[in-house]
Structures are given as C-alpha cells and as structure tokens.
Amino acid sequence: MNIVELKNVTKSFEESGQKRKILDNVNLAIQAGEFIILKGEMGAGKTTLINLILGLQIPESGTVRVFGYAPEQPESKLKLGLMLQKTRAPGNLKVEETINLIRSFYPKSYSTAELLTRSKLEQKRYSWASSDELSGGEERSLYFALAIAGNPEFLILDEPTTGLDPHARSRVLQQIRDFANEGKTILLVSHIESDADAISDLATRTLTLSHGKIQEVRTDNFEQLQQSISKFGGAYSRSEQPVVKPKNLFSMLLGQTKVELLKLIRQPIVLLSMLALYSVVALFPRNDPNALFYMTGLATINLLIVAIQTLSIQIATERKQGWVKLLRVTPLPAWIYLTSKVIIAFIVSFTGIILMFSLGIFKVGMSQPFFDWVILFFSLILGIVPFAIFGFVIGYTMDANSISLVSAFLIGLAVFSSGSIPLPGMPEWLQNLIPFSPFYHYAQIVMWAGHIQIAEFYNNYLAIHLEWLVWTTCVASFLAIWAYQRNRAIS
C-alpha cells in the first residue's frame, strides 16, 4: 500500500459561468521514502491537489487515500505534517508555546526542546511567534518546526521558501534536507527553479501539473527506492503498521484551553472592557425598583457582544491567517477548537455576571433569595447558547472587518426586537413581528427567571419561549455545520 493514493481524481471549478477541470482523471501513488517535487504554472492546480490529499476539498469523482484512510478520517492525520505558504500563529503566543501546542496533538511527537534545536530557534523561544521579533527565515523555520512537530512520516511543504532572501532560503532548504535524510516521505510544491535544483539530488520524481494532467520525470533515486522496496519489502502497508492511538481528547481540550487563556490574559483590554461594561450597574440609583430589569438588560447585551462579536472575530481572524487551516490538518478535532473558545467566553461571562450581581446586591441594594440569583444566572448563560452558535456561523462565513458592523446591527436588532423598550408610534405590523424574534424569547426567559414584571412585559408562556430557543439552537447548529463544511471546501 502507498502512503498517498489518488485514483481517477477529477476536480473542477466554476469560472465565468463555465466549468474548468483543474484535475482531470488524475492517478498518483506516493510510496514511503519518496521525495517528490511538484511543479506547475500559476493556477495549474497544485494547491487544489494538496487540498484534496489533506481532505480540505472533496473530489468531484475518484478516491483519495492517505495512509490507507480517507483524508477526512482522523487516523490519516496522525503521521502527516504540513507547512503552508502563508500562516500566522495567533498573536500573544510565544515561539515555544506555539510549538508546544501543536506537538501536544500528536501521539509520537518530538519534544519541544528537540524541535527548537532542529529549527535553530533556541534563542528565540521566548519571542512572540507572530511579530517582527522573528526574521523571515526564522518565521519559516518556526512553521517548519510546526510541520514536523508530530514526527510525521509524510510531510507536505507548500512553497516553503517563497519571499525569502538567499540566506534564509538555504536555512530552510537545509532543514528539509535533514528531514529527508531520515527517510521521511516529502511532497514539496515549488515553482522556484533554484529551489528544485538545490534539492534535486534528493528527489525521486518531479511531477508537473498542466491542463489537469500530471507528467512525471523519475530520477535514479526512484529506481534505487524500487530496488530497496523489492529487496526489503519497504512499501507501506496499513495492516502491518503498529497502531498509533490518537491523543486523549481531554488532554487536547486542556492544552487548547490553556492557550486561549494565555491569549486572554495577555490581552487584558478585552477582559477589562467587558468587566467595565458589567460594572455599569454600580451607577444605578440605590434601591431603584427597576434596577433588576436594567441589570438583566445590560447582562444580555454584554453576553450577546461576547457570543456574536468576540467569538466570531477571533475565528475569522485565525481563519484569514491560515491558522484554522493548519489546525484542521492536525489530529485536533474542530469541536475542541470551538469548545476551548466557548470555555473562555464562559469564564469571562461568569466573572462579569458575578461582579454585576455583587454590585447589584451590595451597591444598589437589590435583594432576592439566593436560589433566584442562581436561576437568573443559568437563564442568562444557557439562553445565549443559540446566539453563540450563530457567532460561529458568522466567524466561518465573514471576514473580521465586516463582523463588527454586522454584530452592531444584530445587537441593535436584539435590543429592538426584545420588546422590552417601548417604542411609541411603532406600526402594528412591526409590533406583531416581535414574537418571531429569538431575542424576544431570550428576553422573556430572563424576565421569568428574574420575576420581572415591568409593564406586564413577561407573558407567562415559558414553555413556548423555551421551545423557540431550542429550535433556534437547532437551526443555528445546522447553519454552523454548513458554514464549517463550506469553509472547508473553499479554504
């Protein structure tokens, strides 16, 4: 069995209303120990071919197998490494932490110390990973270290030296050479002739992609590999390989959450501005009978900002930087990536609401039984779930710049359609639309939990409000799955 197998793979894209075949009935088998250089003109389809191997795109027809598994299966990712043309690690992470995070997803990873040595980044271990503290060559070395972090048997390198000066280029090429000399299988995409020449002594084949077809040129290394395979039976066989068990999901979640927490602590302005918004409650007049109503209104707006804006901007930014794509080809399940963000959002919201309740009790003089505070807390937090899922939809479909505008509109819509603010002169037909807004039902549940009866706003149909939030959650989840799959197909 081969490490990679493409059988009769065809992939087309729509171009000016016409279908253009990027890959036309392509067959390709990559054996263990090969070093393949993939070339092709701009737009020939090299990235598409890689995306199909990585499971980031789905072929129109034909099959793709990696280590004998379909590329979407987690087992195919355990022994695979990828270096993308353009990636940026999330801000607020240091070189060592970034390496440590990626290696923690793999069962047989190199140690962080070894990866720092291999990439010659020992002196830069405490530098910020995505900043000017790293030169172009050091930055590429970092992403090479991330690609090999899991001690992969198969490494894909997409234009690893693009944009580098000669010194930095030879540094990266040397790292690739060292890794190839360990007998690992490498697929190198490069349109830089001098790169291909510099490393041609290692190549077993050069593949050229043109008009949807692959032309191959074999080297002497290919013949030598065939001889050693027939002598030692070196071809890859899934059934003969020791089973590599994926890392424990809980430890992956813990590692990813720790990183999200670090990012939060290192950018305190986000946390502090949220806490400042919750603290507005301290300005309410003492013993104001409407204080609880205003406080819950403020809490829901703050929660909506976190759910709709903060989460989605983070996802959109990391998507744009290529970080989400890099994580997708690691064994980290997408739900862990999202859950870790939700945990942090929960911690921020939890702290904010507790601060708000404390100020309400001790500064404004609100009083109600402890159990009622608990019910109010859970209603506020659980009611936000469908909107947080909708935040994922926005994060996976829109760019970060547009999100602020869209979320400002949505939060305005939430305030208006919650029905809690009397708007004199509003036409009746618009008034009648309010019960169709999920924000209205969220507001009703919060009113119920806080026993708030301002102007008889709460209407006592609790079951209907809960039902609305349940089906809104279902629709938002369905949209989130669609947005995720769509993003997978176009990333």
Positions that interact with ligand ATP (CB under 6 A): 13, 22, 40, 42-48, 191, 490
In whole angstroms, how close is the CB of 213 to ligand ATP at the nearest point? 13
DSSP states of 171-217: HHHHHHHHHHTTT-EEEEE---HHHHHHTTTT-SEEEEEETTEEEEE
3 vs 22 by CB, closer to ligand ATP: 22
In whole angstroms, how close is the CB of 8 to ligand ATP at the nearest point? 19
85 vs 127 by CB, closer to ligand ATP: 85
43 vs 268 by CB, closer to ligand ATP: 43
Helix, strand or coil, per DSSP, at residue 458? coil
Where in 16-138 does DSSP place strands (E)?
A: 18-30, 35-40, 61-66, 80-83
Beta bridge partners of 138: none
In whole angstroms, how close is the CB of 116 to ligand ATP at the nearest point? 30
436 vs 482 by CB, closer to ligand ATP: 482
In whole angstroms, how close is the CB of 86 to ligand ATP at the nearest point? 10
Look-up: residue for tokens 């739900």? 335
In whole angstroms, how close is the CB of 42 to ligand ATP at the nearest point? 4
116 vs 324 by CB, closer to ligand ATP: 324
16 vs 239 by CB, closer to ligand ATP: 16
In whole angstroms, how close is the CB of 47 to ligand ATP at the nearest point? 3
In whole angstroms, how close is the CB of 45 to ligand ATP at the nearest point? 4
60 vs 372 by CB, closer to ligand ATP: 60
What is the distance between the alpha carbons of residues 134 and 119, in angstroms, rounded to a whole number? 13
* CA dihedral of 297, 303, 308, 312, whole degrees rounded to 10: 160
Q: State the burial class of residue 242 (Cβ atoms within 10 Å of its Cβ: 0-12, 13-18, 19+).
A: exposed
In whole angstroms, how close is the CB of 150 to ligand ATP at the nearest point? 24
DSSP states of 228-256: HHHHH--S--GGGSPPPPPPPHHHHHHHH
In whole angstroms, how close is the CB of 192 to ligand ATP at the nearest point? 11
Long-range pairs of 252-257 with CB within 8 A, sequence gap ≥ 24: 252/104, 252/105, 252/331, 252/332, 252/333, 252/336, 253/336, 253/339, 253/340, 255/101, 255/104, 255/105, 256/101, 256/332, 256/336, 256/337, 256/340, 257/339, 257/340, 257/343, 257/344
43 vs 412 by CB, closer to ligand ATP: 43
Exposure on the CB side of residue 283, measured as CA atoms within 13 A:
7
CA angle 200, 204, 210 (to 5 degrees): 85
Q: From the DSSP assignment, how many helices (H) and strands (E) are in the chain?
A: 19, 9
85 vs 226 by CB, closer to ligand ATP: 85
In whole angstroms, how close is the CB of 209 to ligand ATP at the nearest point? 7
In whole angstroms, how close is the CB of 85 to ligand ATP at the nearest point? 7
| Cα Rg, the chain, nearest whole Å | 27
What is the distance between the alpha carbons of residues 389 and 308, in angstroms, rounded to a whole number? 8
87 vs 109 by CB, closer to ligand ATP: 87
421 vs 490 by CB, closer to ligand ATP: 490
Query: Distance between the two ends of the chain, CA-based, in angstroms?
Result: 29
Four-residue CA torsion sign, 226, 231, 237, 243:
negative
What is the distance between the alpha carbons of residues 98 and 165, in angstroms, rounded to a whole number? 25
In whole angstroms, how close is the CB of 489 to ligand ATP at the nearest point? 7
25 vs 248 by CB, closer to ligand ATP: 25
Any alpha helices (H) in 104-192, and if so which ranges?
Answer: 112-118, 136-148, 166-180
What is the distance between the alpha carbons of residues 248 and 265, in angstroms, rounded to a whole number? 26
